Amino acid sequence: MKDLHDIIEGCKRNDRSSQEKLYRQFYPGLFALCKKFFHDNHDALTSLNNGMLNVFKNIGKYDPAKGELFNWAYTIVRNAAITHLNNMKIVQQTTEITGEMEQSLFSSPFKELEWNDLFSYLDKLPPATRAVCSLHYIEGFAVREISEQLSLSEGTIKWHLSESRSRLKTLFFKTSIH
């Protein structure tokens, strides 16, 4: 614990060595987070680096009494990934879902999967659908929260959830046959 405290103090002083230690310590978990949103490693790494830059800029605001440093950094990097998605303008206008189709949207299609399987399936979804699917089923955001973060209507978010379930069902079926 003293090592982490020393690293945090070094980061507050803009010590490059401390920043590198923190980056390397958090890299595996935070890169995995970014891979949930992006198929391309470059986009995932861009989001991770932008997020970590924000972590370093704001490390003085971190309050250990409010939670673990990793969780604080995770939130910052996740927000950087969402910002990167918005900047890419990958989210296109789609059909809205209403009525009885909504009922099937909220159970997670990922319950039984291992992490490696999860990423291989996410890689097969279009970027916008992948982002919405990750935010809802993996990160646990409500439709309204995703709608606000991505500046899309709730119906569009529901369409992406329906689309992800439909595509994943087909992929799961193909995989179980072989």
Q: Note if the pTM is more than 0.85.
A: no
Is the model's pLDDT at 139 over the cut of 60?
yes
SS (H, E, C) the chain: CHHHHHHHHHHHCCCHHHHHHHHHHHHHHHHHHHHCCCCCHHHHHHHHHHHHHHHHHHHHHCCHHHCCHHHHHHHHHHHHHHHHHHHHCCCCCCCCCCHHHHHHHCCCCCCCCCHHHHHHHHCCCCHHHHHHHHHHHHCCCCHHHHHHHHCCCHHHHHHHHHHHHHHHHHHHHHHHHC
Is the model's pLDDT at 116 over the cut of 50?
yes
> Mind listing the domains of the chain with CATH numbers?
2-88 (1.10.1740.10), 99-177 (1.10.10.10)
Q: What is the pLDDT, as a whole number, of residue 63? A: 93
Least confident among 90-94, 118-122, 142-146:
90-94
Q: What is the pLDDT, as a whole number, of residue 177? A: 56
pLDDT in tens, 61-93: 999 999 999 999 999 999 999 999 888 765 444
pLDDT in tens, 46-66: 999 999 999 999 999 999 999
Is the model's pLDDT at 135 over the cut of 70?
yes
Report for 22-31, 35-44, 124-133: range of highest mean pLDDT: 22-31
